[in-house]
């Protein structure tokens, strides 16, 4: 096997992330220092993100039959690394309050990021499975990082056991696909699926088994029950990473698989995906109505949001491919901005509130009177999650409606509208509490300007500003999304 210059350049992000992990391990072996390891993680992630610029210069490159580096990979890898960067920023203040074993957090985070980047370039069922496991296994450690808490211990047990079960479904489904086609590459699999020799029933069963694993990772109904408990049991920075980076990478490889194989053109698969999408949109929003915990609300909200995005996966057989990938890209960026901002606010509130559970909606009552700028940023981010006009979330909902109507998916569009209307209730509950008169339920111990002077607060402010600016003028993000294409794969 021979590697050429473009292939070495394309591997730069992988090399950098692996190098950072090794350097942090050596640093811990010499002397434990939280500040040094946090700095190494942040600098390494920035270098890996910058290296994607050089990767973009070499164009489309196949690195062995299992990995493909192209504009699609660059987009998803950039999002994963950006989320990991934000997680480091928000995790630093929390880790500073822990007395021991703080440095290993960054090692687990970088390894999981490496798995997400690897998954973004997967072009083969083997690389898909390896990337999924490299990304998921460190998350088990991150979720249970504070295993002294009963909720954290419960969360890590649920996630680990169910994640192992999902991996078993992946392997069984891959085995059936290989037994029927004799190939594992996405493109070869697509060619084989369109051959008349294939035994279609077993092929559909194999893909459905893999779909179980995808639905678990994306928190889609009926494989969603772990989501609110794990979000609640893990600390806010870990919930941020789990809700954003892991799902971005999984959705990226899922879309690549669908585009290469067009297996969702099968009536049976299309019906299954439609039922899952409708159930996720409605159940996610309905279950969030009775929640008082912000993290549980964000968990159910993520179920509904990926139900919305699943509409685009179903429409991929009838819509223009370029417009479809553009819509997925815009929806993902909108979700990432809102999700990072929401979890970032919960993380900031955990620092500002004393002797109370800052995850409860009541703990945000009267926030405007103590932290007016933080309350304004929270309002913008929540409205963007709800998809209200003049926010970037509205642009993503508009894309969903346009693609759905163009593909004549009227049941899915109706469910999307109903789910969005239901979601307004629990989103507005949070916003109203921000501006109610303060109560004795919550006591703040930091000055009103503390949050804007911290890196975490600055990130939240930037996310809120971007949500508004891109809501009024989304053209820059749309032009960026138009560069994300998979023309090489269209059959």
Give the pLDDT confidence of 424-440 residue by residue, as tens digits: 999 999 999 888 887 66
- pLDDT at position 80: 94
Q: Confidence class of residue 363 from pLDDT cuts 50, 70 and 90?
A: confident
Residue-wise DSSP of 181-246 = HS--BHHHHHHHHTSTTS-HHHHHHHHHHHHHHHHHHHT-TTS-THHHHHHHHS-HHHHHHHHHHH
Give the pLDDT confidence of 119-140 residue by residue, as tens digits: 998 888 999 999 999 999 999 9
What's the rounded mean pLDDT across residues 96-120? 88
- The yes-or-no verdict on residue 487 having pLDDT over 60 is no
Q: Confidence class of residue 392 from pLDDT cuts 50, 70 and 90?
A: very high
Give the pLDDT confidence of 19-56 residue by residue, as tens digits: 999 999 999 888 888 889 899 999 999 999 999 999 88
- The yes-or-no verdict on residue 356 having pLDDT over 50 is no
- The yes-or-no verdict on residue 330 having pLDDT over 70 is yes
Tell me how far apart the alpha carbons of residues 87 and 461 are, in angstroms, rounded to a whole number.
Answer: 15
Closest of 368, 363, 299, 347 to residue 459, by C-alpha: 347
- Structure token pair of residue 163: 């994640």
Phi, psi for residue 441 in degrees, rounded to 5:
-65, -30
Phi, psi for residue 443 in degrees, rounded to 5:
-130, 125
Q: For residues 403 and 363, is the Cβ–Cβ distance under 8 A? A: no
Share of the chain above pLDDT 70, in %: 91
- Cβ neighbourhood burial of 328 (10 Å; 0-12, 13-18, 19+): buried
- pLDDT at position 354: 43
- The yes-or-no verdict on residue 214 having pLDDT over 70 is yes
- pLDDT at position 269: 83
- The yes-or-no verdict on residue 491 having pLDDT over 50 is no
Evaluate the omega torsion of the peptide bond into residue 222 and state whether it is cis, within 30 degrees of 0.
yes
């Amino acid at each position: 096997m021979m590697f050429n210059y473009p292939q070495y350049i394309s591997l730069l992000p992988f090399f950098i992330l692996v190098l950072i992990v090794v350097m942090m391990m050596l640093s811990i072996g010499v002397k434990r220092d939280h500040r040094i390891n946090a700095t190494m993680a942040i600098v390494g992630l920035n270098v890996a993100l910058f290296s994607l610029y050089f990767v973009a210069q070499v164009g489309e490159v196949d690195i062995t039959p299992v990995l493909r580096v192209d504009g699609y990979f660059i987009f998803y890898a950039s999002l994963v690394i950006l989320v990991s960067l934000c997680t480091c920023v928000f995790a630093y203040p929390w880790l500073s309050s822990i007395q021991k074993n703080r440095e290993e957090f960054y090692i687990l985070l970088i390894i999981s990021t490496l798995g997400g980047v690897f998954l973004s370039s997967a072009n083969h069922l083997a690389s898909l499975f390896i990337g999924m496991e490299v990304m998921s296994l460190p998350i088990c450690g991150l979720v249970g990082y504070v295993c002294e808490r009963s909720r954290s211990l419960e969360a890590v047990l649920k996630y680990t056991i169910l994640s192992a079960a999902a991996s078993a479904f992946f392997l069984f489904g891959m085995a059936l696909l290989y037994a029927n086609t004799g190939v594992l590459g996405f493109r070869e699999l697509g060619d084989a699926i369109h051959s008349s020799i294939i035994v279609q029933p077993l092929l559909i069963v194999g893909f459905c088994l893999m779909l179980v694993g995808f639905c678990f990772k994306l928190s889609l109904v009926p494989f969603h029950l772990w989501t609110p408990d794990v979000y609640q049991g893990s600390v806010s920075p870990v919930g941020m990473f789990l809700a954003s980076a892991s799902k971005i990478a999984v959705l990226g490889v899922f879309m690549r698989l669908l585009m290469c194989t067009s297996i969702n053109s099968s009536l049976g698969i299309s019906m299954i995906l439609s039922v899952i999408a409708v159930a996720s949109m409605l159940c996610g929003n309905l279950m969030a109505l009775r929640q008082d915990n912000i993290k549980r609300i964000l968990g159910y909200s993520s179920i509904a949001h990926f139900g919305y995005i699943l509409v685009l996966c179903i429409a991929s057989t009838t819509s223009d491919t370029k417009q479809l990938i553009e819509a997925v890209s815009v929806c993902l960026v909108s979700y990432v901005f809102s999700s990072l901002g929401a979890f970032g606010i919960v993380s900031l509130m955990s620092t500002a509130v004393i002797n109370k559970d800052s995850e409860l909606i009541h703990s945000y009552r009267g926030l405007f009177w103590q932290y007016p700028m933080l309350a304004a940023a929270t309002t913008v981010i929540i409205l963007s999650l709800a998809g209200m006009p003049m926010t970037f979330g509205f642009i993503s909902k508009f894309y969903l409606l346009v693609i759905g109507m163009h593909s004549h998916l009227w049941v899915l569009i109706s469910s999307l509208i109903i789910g969005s209307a239901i979601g307004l209730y629990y989103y507005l509950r949070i916003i109203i509490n921000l501006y109610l008169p303060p109560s004795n339920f919550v006591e703040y111990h930091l000055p009103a300007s503390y949050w804007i002077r911290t890196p975490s607060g600055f990130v939240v402010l930037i996310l809120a500003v971007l949500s508004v600016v891109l809501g009024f003028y989304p053209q820059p993000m749309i032009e960026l999304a138009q560069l994300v294409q998979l023309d090489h794969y269209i059959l």
